[in-house]
Amino acid sequence: MLPLITDTSNPAHAGFRKKTREKMASEPVDHEHRAGLLWDVLTRAAQNRRPPLTYKEAATAIGIHHRPIAYPLGLIQDHCLEDGLPRLTALLVSASTGVQGRGFLGEPGNERDLEELYSQNWQAIPNPFSNLQQSELNRIADDLTINPHHADKYVSVLSRGNQQRVFSKAVLRAYGHQCAICEMSFPSTLQAAHIVPFGDPRHELRVDPRNGIALCANHHKLFDDGSIDISPEYRIAYYDPEGTDGPYSVADEALSLAFHGKPLLLPENPHLHPSRALLEERRAQQ
Chain residues that interact with Zn ion, rule: CB under 5 A: 179, 181-182, 184, 216, 219
Query: Closer CB to Zn ion, residue 31 or residue 219?
Result: 219
Q: Which is nearer to Zn ion, 137 or 190 (CB)?
A: 190
Residue 267 CB, nearest approach to Zn ion (Å): 16
Report the nearest approach of Zn ion to the CB of residue 98 (Å).
38
Distance in angstroms (rounded) separating the CA atoms of residues 180 and 172? 10
Q: Name which of 170 and 182 has its Cβ closer to Zn ion.
A: 182
Smallest distance, Zn ion to C-beta of residue 17, A: 19
Q: At residue 53, what are phi and psi to the nearest 5 degrees?
A: -95, 160
CB of 122 to Zn ion, least distance (A): 38
**Nearest to Zn ion of 165, 219 (CB atom):** 219
Q: How far is the CB of 82 from Zn ion (least distance, A)?
A: 26
Q: What are phi and psi of 20, to 5 degrees?
A: -60, -45
Residue closer to Zn ion by CB (options 91, 181) is 181
41 or 179, CB closer to Zn ion?
179
Residue 183 Cβ vs Zn ion, minimum distance, rounded to whole Å: 7
Q: Nearest distance from residue 223's CB to Zn ion, in Å? A: 9
Burial class, 132, CB count within 10 angstroms (exposed 0-12 / middle 13-18 / buried 19+): exposed
Burial (CB count within 10 angstroms: exposed 0-12, middle 13-18, buried 19+), residue 208: buried
The smaller minimum CB distance to Zn ion, of residues 45 and 236, is found at 236
